[in-house]
């Protein structure tokens, strides 16, 4: 078949025949191959995942030969993975599957784990869109976590605790901003320093204030009097919706608001345009009268406050206690989500959900007898995915042009 004929036959099909669409359908089929073997459908026959998976591989192969290489190979990989996981699922016990893949509980727990990541990733987005790399998200989150619970404990009010946590995170971010913007410190070095400092300061104060007994716990009843952030009950009808969304913490809902507001402000207002122009080409922004320094200071400080909100949610919304280094790399996962999501709010949120889902799955796997040890391994998944993403397999992640470059006026 000659090329014009091929083009015509494709045009007949419209966009449906595009190699990219076929490839995307292949990826969907690959996911489907695995999903069919899980509850509630639980296909027990090997035939189902294998056939659907092979369809995915075929779609992928065709897409590759038609030129959509990236999507095509993605579909081939998804198909093979779907077949593999599907076979594994059909071979494992039904009871184990039911315990692990209780979808409604998984969704609720995914949202719980994704929330701190969302806050910190949005914080990182503000900072990096203004051209300041923020490796210190982890430290700012940890600061928010400690000062949040400290404030709530001392004042007896979670609102004040949250504000104190945000203030402390913002203050730490301000210190970082001074070094990164005015003193033009290497931003990676500065961020590393912030992480060390936050770890030391929170650890020091934690032991100094609470000693080895740790912060007061929910179980002592001390927390029932307004120190922890309340959950929001929605409906009384038991069911899928109720288990998934019915009793989420207030901060989960606030994180959605933060997400939407970040998107609207950064991408739909003149203010956001200025912010992004500072991050892409500070010289040009300066020339038209935008203060590069002021914009960056504001963005970095806000970034610290948002990350601190994520940290405060961890202590007074979720875990109800504090431990040394309790963020355990969540700030870095948030950074990974930001990169994975290509420095866009929707992408970063999707990545945060994905990473949250992997944490939730890991937690449920931990309760199944023979899978428990793999739950630990599962924690590495976000980092592996991000490594693959920066390697350019899933489309290149390109940061704002002036990200990481200190600006000096001429």
Partner 1 sequence: MTEQGDRERGAEEAQREVVEERKGGDYAPSVADSLAFYQRAGGIVTALMTAVIAFLIGGIVVLASGSNPFSTYKAVFNGTGLNWLFPWVTGATRATAALNLQQTLLLTTPLILCGLAVAFAFRCGMFNIGGEGQYIVGSIMAVWIASSFVKMNGPLHIVLTIVVAALAGGLYAGIAGFLKATVGAHEVISTIMLNWIAFWVGSWLFALGGPLQSKANGASVPVSNDIVQSAHLHVFWGDPVLQGLHVGFFIALTGLVVYWLTLNRTTLGYQVRAVGFNPEAARYGGIGVARNYFRAMAIAGTFAGLAGAIDVLGWEFRLNVNDIQVSNIGFIAIAVALLGRNTAVGVFFSALLFGALLNGTSTRNLDPTVFRPDLAGNLTLIIQGLVVLFVGADVLVIWIWNQRRRLRPGRAAAVPSP
Residues whose CB falls within 8 Å of the CB of residue 326, separated by 6 or more in sequence, listed in order: 142, 145, 314, 315, 319
Please confirm whether the linkage preceding 106 is cis (ω < 30° from 0): no
Contacts of 316 (CB under 8 A, 6+ apart): 148, 149, 152, 158, 161, 162, 227, 228, 229
Using alpha carbons, select from 338, 276, 399 the residue that is nearest to residue 138: 338
Measured CA to CA, the distance from residue 228 to residue 285 in angstroms comes to 43
Q: Answer yes or no whether residue 13 interacts with partner 1 by CB under 8 A.
A: no
* Min dist. Cβ of residue 399 to partner 1 (A): 8
**Under rule CB under 8 A, residue 401 binds partner 1:** no
Residues 143 to 182 in contact with partner 1, rule: CB under 8 A:
179
Binding mask 291-330 for partner 1 (x = CB under 8 A): ---------------------------------x----x-
Cα 68 to Cα 116: distance, rounded to the nearest angstrom = 36
**203 lies in the site for partner 1, by CB under 8 A:** yes
- Residue closer to partner 1 by CB (options 17, 214) is 214
Strand, coil or helix: what is 119? helix
The 3-class SS string of 49-98 reads HHHHHHHHHHHHHHHHHCCCHHHHHHHHHHHHHHHHHHHHHHHCCHHHHH
Shortest Cβ distance from residue 122 to partner 1 (Å)?
18
CB 380 within 8 A of CB 361: no
Supply φ then ψ for residue 209, to 5 degrees: -85, -45
Is there a contact between 64 and 94 (Cβ–Cβ < 8 Å)?
A: no
Query: Whole-number minimum distance, CB 66 to partner 1, in Å?
Result: 24
- Choose between 268 and 370: whose C-beta lies nearer to partner 1: 370
| Burial class of residue 211 (count of CB atoms within 10 Å of its CB; 0-12, 13-18, 19+) | exposed
- Among 41, 47, 391, 401, which residue interacts with partner 1 (rule: CB under 8 A)? 391
Residue from 3, 208, 238, 270 in contact with partner 1 (CB under 8 A): 208
- Smallest distance from partner 1 to CB 91, Å: 19
Residues 109-138, interacting with partner 1 (CB under 8 A): 135
Q: 12 vs 208, which CB is nearer to partner 1?
A: 208
Farthest CA pair distance, the chain: 79
Distant-in-sequence, close-in-space partners of 357: CB < 8 Å, separation ≥ 6: 106, 110, 113, 114
- Shortest Å distance, C-beta 186 to partner 1: 5
Within 329-348, the residues that bind partner 1 by CB under 8 A are 329, 332, 335-336, 339
Minimum gap (Å) between residue 384 Cβ and partner 1:
6
Q: Shortest Cβ distance from residue 209 to partner 1 (Å)?
A: 10
DSSP annotation string for 225-260: TTTSPPEEE---S-SHHHHHHTEEEHHHHHHHHHHH
Measured from the CB of residue 143, what is the shortest distance to partner 1 in angstroms? 12
Residue pair 285/292 in contact (Cβ under 8 Å)? The answer is yes
Which residue number, 17 or 392, has a Cβ lying nearer to partner 1? 392
Answer yes or no whether residue 227 interacts with partner 1 by CB under 8 A.
no
Q: Single out the residue of 13, 204, 241, 256 in contact with partner 1 (rule: CB under 8 A).
A: 204
Residue ranges in 84-113 that form contacts with partner 1 under rule CB under 8 A: none
If one asks whether residue 366 binds partner 1 (CB under 8 A), the answer comes out as no
- Chain positions contacting partner 1, by CB under 8 A: 135, 179, 183-186, 188-190, 192-201, 203-204, 207-208, 212, 324, 329, 332, 335-336, 339, 372-374, 376-377, 379-380, 383-384, 386-387, 390-392, 396, 399, 408
């Amino acid at each position: 078949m000659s090329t014009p004929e091929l083009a015509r036959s494709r045009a007949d099909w419209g966009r449906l025949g595009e190699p990219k669409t076929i490839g995307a359908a292949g990826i969907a089929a690959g996911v489907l191959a695995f999903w069919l073997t899980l509850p509630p459908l639980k296909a027990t026959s090997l035939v189902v995942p294998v056939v659907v998976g092979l369809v995915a591989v075929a779609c992928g192969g065709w897409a590759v030969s038609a030129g959509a290489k990236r999507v095509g190979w993605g579909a081939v990989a998804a198909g093979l993975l779907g077949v593999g996981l599907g076979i594994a699922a059909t071979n494992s016990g039904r009871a184990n599957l039911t315990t692990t893949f209780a979808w409604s509980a998984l969704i609720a727990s995914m949202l719980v784990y994704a929330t701190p990541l969302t806050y910190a990733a949005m914080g990182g987005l503000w900072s990096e869109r203004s051209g300041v790399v923020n490796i210190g998200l982890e430290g700012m989150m940890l600061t928010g976590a400690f000062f949040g619970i400290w404030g709530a404990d001392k004042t007896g009010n979670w609102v004040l605790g949250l504000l104190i946590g945000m203030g402390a995170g913002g203050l730490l971010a301000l210190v970082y901003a001074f070094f990164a913007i005015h003193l033009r410190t290497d931003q990676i070095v500065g961020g590393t320093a912030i992480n060390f400092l936050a770890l030391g300061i929170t650890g020091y104060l934690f032991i100094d204030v609470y000693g080895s007994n740790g912060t007061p716990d929910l179980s002592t009843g001390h927390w029932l009097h307004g120190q922890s952030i309340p959950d929001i009950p929605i409906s009384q009808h038991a069911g899928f919706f109720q288990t998934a969304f019915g009793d989420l913490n207030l901060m989960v809902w606030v994180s959605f608001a933060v997400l939407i507001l970040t998107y609207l402000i950064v991408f739909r207002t003149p203010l956001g345009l200025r912010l992004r122009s500072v991050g892409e080409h500070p010289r040009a922004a300066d020339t038209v009268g935008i203060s590069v320094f002021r914009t960056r200071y504001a963005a970095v400080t806000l970034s610290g406050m948002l990350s601190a909100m994520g940290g405060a949610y961890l202590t007074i919304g979720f875990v109800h206690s504090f431990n040394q280094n309790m963020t355990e790399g969540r700030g870095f996962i948030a950074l990974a989500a930001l990169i994975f999501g290509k420095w866009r709010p929707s992408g970063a949120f999707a990545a945060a959900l994905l990473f949250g889902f992997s944490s939730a799955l890991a937690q449920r796997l931990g309760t199944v007898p023979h899978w428990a040890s793999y739950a630990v391994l599962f924690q590495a998944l976000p980092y592996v995915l991000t490594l693959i993403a920066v390697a350019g397999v899933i489309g290149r992640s390109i940061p704002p042009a002036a990200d990481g470059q200190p600006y000096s006026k001429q």
